[in-house]
């Protein structure tokens, strides 16, 4: 039912000008009312005070304040009513068409006040916007519908004054009376003044409210901020929880987009969440968060277009906007009814999204009339205002501007914190990777260094051992008594040791690189030089065979020669013959010794054969039976056999004794003995022989300690004294004395006055079987071994023995011995 504004002839429907007393009381009344209205800053208190004061002032039956919603509908938000007369309308909603748009515009632009008298069917219009017009009230006939409408509410008389807040029609101050009533101009102006005061109070209250909201928002921002901007680490989870609380959401989440291709996205959630979305097909199917789904960006774009808002926020109220179809599986199973998403941006970079979710709520609206348009009763003027409760269940709750503002504000804090955190992470990663790189490099360097040190040390060790080896080789080669030389395949000298050079009479460098065959002139044992190709060493170089040669001759530089034995061995490298090494020995001495041995054997056999021949011939004669065994001749033959047997025994004993002493098989048991005792003992042994030969032995004893094998020295002395007796004429003297010499040795002398020894025999008589005269052995019973035995004994004591002699005058045999300790 629409209210019409048909202006008509104006008629006085209000009282005349008040007198001065009335004005005074009005002033006081006004002052009191305004005071009361302004006592509180709470809107509900202000509005209640306003309606109460206005009703008391006008003395009408119902005064209400009607507040407009954004869509033009409205609600009775304050009321003072005499319920005896009129019903209460408090809390009832009225649809937008009840007060049509043009009427609302008049209320706003003209600040039009209306006074309706239903009985007289008159409506008075008075504009307060124009001061000239302000004084006048223009009357005309009221629209019948309007009159019906008022009557339905039980009112016969009404006064309506607009309440304007900051160029917005905030609401209406309405007075109803069940009987016709005249409104005076003063009353109108007073109510206007009160409406104006109410406007001011509403503005102040709004200011207070917005200050409160601001304070709450600041508190919320502080709470969230303390988690986001803590120096130690970003506590996203707690910050998000506080954000959800501050925005009265049922849940929320922060999606942090991957920073680069390698990094992962991050999702922090709190409270109720949409489910993950499937993407891809078959085996490649995976579950991803909403923000990663391709439809997210499309939704953002579309929603922003619909809302005609600029980034960075977007809203989806599921009642108003349909979600992308892919999202059904994410939201359908949940109670979420709306989303507020804030794009987290910093320095033109999208870092992610902050989303807050809300569940649906039940909204109850009390309507002042039935919404059923098809109900025929609605075609007629309304008879009463039966109330009707509208209950809307699970509806998305609107996001208010201040909530969006708060979310945006919080979003920017999230963005800054995330940006800083990522920056910090990058720096940290850089630092860590730098440290790691430095560490890796250092480790590699250390390893390389260790390896180098090891290599150097190994090389040094190898070099040292090589040097040692080469030094040892050099020492061995230098010390070797054998001559050693190396040859290459051509037979040229590549190496020669000092012994070889010395034996050949060359400097080492003079034989280097020279064909050795031309240097030594290989010859047969007989001295016949033969060709290189016939040489066994040449054969070694050709075939790799080892050759032992025992009887060849090498020639020295000075054209002299010496007998050699040598071995030639191939030098091989990886199985290939590259040369030969020849080790040779000068065998001159060995050949002499061999000769001496041969001679010794022939001498010994000769010496042994002589007595044996005598024995054999004597025994042969005796055994022939031709001689009477009891005859003196056979007796003589037996004596010869016995003498020669004794001689044979002596010979064999002496030979064995000498050989044992010379070869060191007889050990000298050395002890301290006094020289005087030794001399005395020796003389005692030979005393009887001397007496038989009528020789006098003269002794000069020397008391000095000797370090000797006593028996062997007595053997030496007795041998020398026996010889002296043997070769001395009777009635001569043999002198035996000893002297301590300056070098610490003791010199013994056995002197005779015999036949003497020719000078050429002075040395030889000390050799085996050497006698001055061949008859000496036969005539004097000697073996020719005594002096050789003496020399061996003296040498085993570290001394030496010799003879000084003048023919026909005598000989003096001398020897030295070491003194004892």
Binding site for ligand ADP (CB under 6 A): 723-724, 727, 752, 754-755, 757, 765, 771-773, 776-777, 782-787, 811
Kindly state the helix (H) or strand (E) to which residue 338 belongs, with its residue range: strand 336-346
Residue 515 Cβ vs ligand ADP, minimum distance, rounded to whole Å: 53
Question: Whole-angstrom Cα distance, residue 48 to residue 39?
Answer: 12
How many Å apart are CA 657 and CA 652, to the nearest integer? 8
CB of 767 to ligand ADP, least distance (A): 9
Which CA distances in Å does 343 have to 23, 112, 320, 404? Answer: 62, 46, 21, 12
Contact 606, 598 (CB under 8 A): no
Closest residue to ligand ADP using C-beta atoms:
782
**Minimum distance from residue 768 beta carbon to ligand ADP (Å):** 8
Tokens of 582: 């020849």
Please say whether the beta carbons of 540 and 546 come within 8 A: yes
Of 131, 132, 134, 185, nearest to 159 by C-alpha is 185
Which CB sits closer to ligand ADP, 270 or 723? 723
> How crowded is residue 461: how many other Cβ atoms within 10 Å of its Cβ?
10
- Please, which residues bridge with residue 255 across strands? 267, 353
Nearer to ligand ADP, 314 or 772 (CB): 772
Residue closer to ligand ADP, measured from CB, 537 or 794: 794
Q: Residue 344 or residue 765: which is nearer to ligand ADP going by CB?
A: 765
Q: In the bound complex, what is the minimum distance in angstroms from residue 649's beta carbon to ligand ADP? A: 14
| Least distance (Å) between residue 611 CB and ligand ADP | 14
- Asked if 601 contacts 593 with a C-beta cutoff of 8 angstroms, the reply is no
Q: Which is nearer to ligand ADP, 586 or 752 (CB)?
A: 752
Shortest CA distance to 676 belongs to which of 705, 710, 701? 701
Q: Helix or strand or coil: residue 791?
A: helix
- Which strands form 547-555's sheet, in the order they lie side by side? 493-496, 483-488, 576-586, 561-573, 547-555, 523-524
The DSSP secondary structure of 644-699, one letter per residue, reads: HHHHHHHHHHHHHHHHHHHTT-SPP--EEEEHHHHHHHHHHHHHHHHHHTT-EEEE
Rounded to a whole number of angstroms, the minimum distance from the CB of residue 791 to ligand ADP is 9
Complex with ligand ADP: residue 24 or 773, whichever CB lies closer? 773
199 vs 811 by CB, closer to ligand ADP: 811
Distance between CA 242 and CA 697 in Å, rounded?
142
CB of 648 to ligand ADP, least distance (A): 14
> What backbone torsions phi and psi does residue 168 show, to the nearest 5 degrees?
-130, 135
Q: What are phi and psi of 671, to 5 degrees?
A: -145, 175
In the bound state with ligand ADP, the residue whose beta carbon lies nearer, of 410 and 772, is 772
CB of 543 to ligand ADP, least distance (A): 56
User: Which CB atom, from 397 or from 755, has the smaller least distance to ligand ADP?
Assistant: 755
- For ligand ADP, the closer CB: 371 or 729: 729
Cβ 677 to ligand ADP, closest distance in Å? Answer: 24
Nearest to 357 by CA among 376, 338, 373, 341: 338
**Smallest separation, CB 668 to ligand ADP (Å):** 21
Cβ atoms 408, 372 nearer than 8 A: no
Which two structure tokens, joined as six digits, stand for 7?
A: 């202006």
Nearest CB to ligand ADP, comparing residues 92 and 811: 811
Q: How far is the CB of 530 from ligand ADP (least distance, A)?
A: 47
């Amino acid at each position: 039912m629409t209210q019409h504004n048909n202006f008509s002839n104006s008629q006085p429907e209000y009282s005349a000008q008040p007198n001065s007393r009335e004005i005074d009381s009005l002033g006081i009344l006004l002052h009191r009312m305004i005071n009361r209205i302004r006592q509180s800053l709470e809107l509900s208190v202000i509005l209640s005070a306003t309606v109460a004061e206005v009703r008391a002032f006008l003395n009408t039956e119902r005064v209400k304040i009607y507040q407009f919603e954004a869509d033009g509908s409205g609600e009775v938000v304050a009321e003072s009513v005499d319920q005896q007369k009129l019903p209460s309308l408090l809390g009832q909603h009225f649809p937008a068409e009840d007060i049509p748009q043009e009427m609302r515009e008049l209320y706003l632009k003209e600040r039009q006040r209306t006074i309706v008298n239903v009985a007289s069917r008159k409506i008075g219009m008075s504009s307060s916007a124009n001061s000239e017009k302000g004084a006048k009230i223009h009357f005309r006939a009221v629209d019948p519908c309007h009159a019906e409408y008022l009557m339905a509410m039980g009112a016969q008389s009404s006064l309506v004054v607009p309440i304007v807040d900051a160029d917005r029609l905030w609401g209406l101050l309405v007075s109803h009376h069940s009987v016709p009533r005249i409104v005076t101009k003063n009353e109108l102006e007073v109510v206007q003044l009160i409406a104006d005061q109410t406007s001011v109070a509403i503005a102040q209250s709004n200011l207070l409210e917005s200050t409160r909201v601001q304070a709450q928002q600041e508190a919320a921002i502080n709470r969230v901020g303390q988690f986001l901007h803590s120096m130690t680490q970003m506590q996203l989870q707690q910050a998000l929880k506080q954000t959800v609380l501050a925005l009265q959401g049922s849940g929320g989440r922060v999606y942090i987009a991957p920073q680069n291709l390698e990094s992962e996205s991050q999702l922090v959630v709190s409270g109720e969440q949409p489910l993950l979305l499937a993407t891809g097909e078959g085996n490649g199917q995976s579950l991803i968060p909403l923000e990663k789904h391709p439809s997210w960006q499309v939704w953002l774009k579309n929603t922003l277009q619909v809302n005609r808002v600029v980034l960075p926020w977007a809203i989806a109220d599921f009642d108003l906007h349909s979600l992308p179809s892919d999202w059904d599986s994410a939201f359908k199973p949940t109670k979420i009814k709306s989303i507020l998403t804030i794009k987290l941006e910093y320095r033109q970079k999208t870092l992610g999204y902050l989303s807050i979710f809300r569940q649906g709520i039940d909204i109850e609206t009390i309507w002042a009339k039935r919404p059923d348009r098809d109900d025929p009763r609605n075609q007629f003027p309304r008879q009463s205002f039966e109330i009707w409760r509208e209950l809307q269940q699970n509806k998305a709750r609107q996001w208010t501007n201040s909530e969006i503002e708060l979310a945006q504000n919080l979003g920017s804090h999230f963005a800054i914190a995330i940006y800083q955190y990522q920056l910090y992470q990058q720096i940290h990663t850089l630092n860590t990777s730098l440290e790691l790189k430095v560490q890796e490099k250092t480790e590699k360097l250390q390893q390389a260094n260790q390896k180098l040190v090891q290599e150097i040390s190994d090389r040094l060790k190898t070099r040292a051992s090589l040097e040692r080896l080469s030094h040892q080789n050099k020492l061995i080669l230098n010390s070797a008594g054998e001559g050693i030389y190396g040859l290459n395949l051509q037979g040229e000298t590549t190496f020669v040791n000092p012994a070889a050079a010395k034996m050949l009479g060359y400097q080492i460098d003079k034989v280097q690189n020279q064909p050795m065959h031309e240097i030594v002139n290989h010859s047969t044992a007989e001295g016949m030089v033969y060709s290189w190709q016939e040489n066994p060493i040449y054969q070694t170089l050709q075939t790799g065979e080892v050759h032992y040669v025992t009887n060849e001759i090498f020639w020295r530089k000075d054209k002299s020669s010496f007998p050699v034995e040598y071995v030639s061995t191939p030098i091989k490298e990886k199985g290939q013959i590259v040369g030969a090494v020849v080790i040779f020995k000068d065998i001159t001495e060995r050949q002499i010794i061999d000769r001496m041995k041969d001679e010794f054997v022939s001498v010994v056999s000769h010496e042994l054969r002589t007595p044996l021949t005598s024995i054999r011939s004597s025994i042969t004669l005796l055994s022939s039976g031709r001689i009477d065994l009891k005859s003196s001749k056979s007796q003589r033959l037996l004596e010869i056999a016995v003498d020669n047997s004794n001689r044979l025994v002596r010979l064999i004993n002496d030979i064995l004794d000498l050989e044992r002493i010379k070869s060191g098989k007889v050990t000298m048991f050395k002890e301290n003995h006094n020289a005087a005792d030794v001399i005395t003992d020796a003389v005692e042994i030979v005393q009887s022989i001397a007496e038989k030969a009528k020789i006098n032995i003269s002794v000069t004893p020397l008391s000095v300690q000797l370090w000797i094998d006593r028996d062997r020295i007595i053997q030496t002395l007795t041998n020398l004294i026996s010889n002296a007796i043997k070769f001395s004429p009777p009635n001569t003297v043999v002198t035996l004395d000893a002297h301590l010499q300056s070098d610490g040795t003791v010199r013994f002398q056995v002197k005779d006055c015999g036949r003497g020894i020719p000078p050429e025999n002075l040395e030889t008589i000390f050799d085996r079987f050497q006698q001055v005269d061949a008859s000496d052995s036969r005539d004097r019973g000697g073996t020719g071994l005594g002096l050789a035995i003496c020399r061996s004994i003296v040498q085993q004591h570290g001394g030496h023995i010799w003879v000084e002699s003048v023919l026909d005058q005598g000989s003096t045999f001398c020897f030295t011995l070491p003194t004892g300790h």
